[in-house]
Amino acid sequence: MANWHTQSVEETVKQLDSSLETGLSESAVQKRLAEVGLNELVERGGRKPLEIIAEQLKEPLVIVLIVAALVSLLLGEYLEVIVILAIVILNSIIGFSQEYRAEQAIAALKKLAVPTVRVRRGDHLLEISARELVPGDVVTLETGNLVPADGRVVESVNLKVQEAALTGESEAVEKHTDAINEENLPLGDRKNMVYMGTIVSYGRGTAVITATGMSTELGNIAELLQDVEQEQTPLQKRLADLGVKLAWVALAIIAVVLVIGWVTRDPTIPVSETLKILFLTAISMAVAAVPEGLPAVVTITLALGSQRMLKRHALIRKLPAVETLGSVTVICSDKTGTLTQNRMTVNVLDVVGHTQEVATLLSGKGIMPNADTDPDAPPQERTLSLL
């Protein structure tokens, strides 16, 4: 990325081939959209239905059950085959339905969270989706706006930006338009820049967009996070270990039965017939050692836990995470904007010496003495009349 903070406003605008007065032309916008793509963070594609089903079937215990069903089919134990396959299918349906609904809910939430931005294009001030921004766009920023992309501040009227989401600092940073001559500055010290994902907390200003989508500082972080390999949960590890152990136990049973049966065989029975009987007996005992109902019991238990979490407004994307959450004792998290809303609210009004809690006023139960209000008006209107 270029060190935009070291350049003057004029140099930045010139390098981006833009104009503070007219912004970009429609043809320039379309050309840049084709070059850099939409202004959005690209995630690894959401899991498709077939991928979710495959994840349900590749669990070691489920694989053992499928092998057991195939062996039972060879042995002619059709009832056993039906029972095992029914359990595998039930297990897959429950797991798939829970995780697919979670994927759909997350996708729906992402569609709702599409901010708009005011941008100058072709000498007109337009309001467009933030996804359509390109480098060189001139955008206006006002109190409460979410900064839609990385940009160089070209106008600041007491502009302050809350950058806690990016830097972790709770104090708002006051922005200016002057160039800063130090190249290797931390993001929090680049006071002539604004960054995607931060919030304008005070004042207003204008910025020319320097980077969009995955080229932004937030995009860099998102890319690093996506490179982290997914680890199995403790429950998944234990079930995988159990599946491997059961496979070894089954093989050991087969070996022991074959050896003992061969040593104690009846010499009068043909060798081929003896081997067939021993093999069928060994396989039957190995299949009996597999707990067919365990995967279904685990999945149903996790699904019930997921439903309980959903009632508390927590969406579980992958079922095994339920067990992991139950083991959490300490959560280390950034407070601002994560555990709190990162915005100030008015709790108490003090008007000409009369103090009143806002919650009481909004409920209509508390009215200041000598207040000239319409008693039949809604509580919100009566409150506004006091102001």
Q: Parallel, antiparallel, or unpaired for β 124-129 and 116-121? A: antiparallel
**Taking Cα atoms as reference points, which of 188, 211, 233, 200 lies closest to residue 115?**
200
d(CA 254, CA 285): 8
Active-site pick, 334, 350, 372, 376: 334
- Look at residue 283 and give its three-state secondary structure: helix
Given a contact cutoff of 8 angstroms between Cβ atoms, the answer to whether 135 and 212 are in contact is yes
With vertex at residue 142, the alpha carbon angle to CA 106 and CA 154, rounded to the nearest 5 degrees, is 110
Given a contact cutoff of 8 angstroms between Cβ atoms, the answer to whether 139 and 209 are in contact is yes
For residue 365, give both structure tokens: 């139960």
Given a contact cutoff of 8 angstroms between Cβ atoms, the answer to whether 295 and 65 are in contact is yes
Instruction: Answer positive or negative: Cα dihedral of 271, 275, 281, 285.
Output: positive
Spatial CB neighbours of 282, under 8 Å, sequence gap ≥ 6? 253, 254, 255, 257, 258, 261
d(CA 68, CA 294): 14
For residue 121, give both structure tokens: 């294009």
Whether 350 is catalytic is no
d(CA 124, CA 138): 11
Terminal-residue alpha carbon distance, the chain: 49
For residue 146, give both structure tokens: 């979410």
Active-site residues, by number, are 334
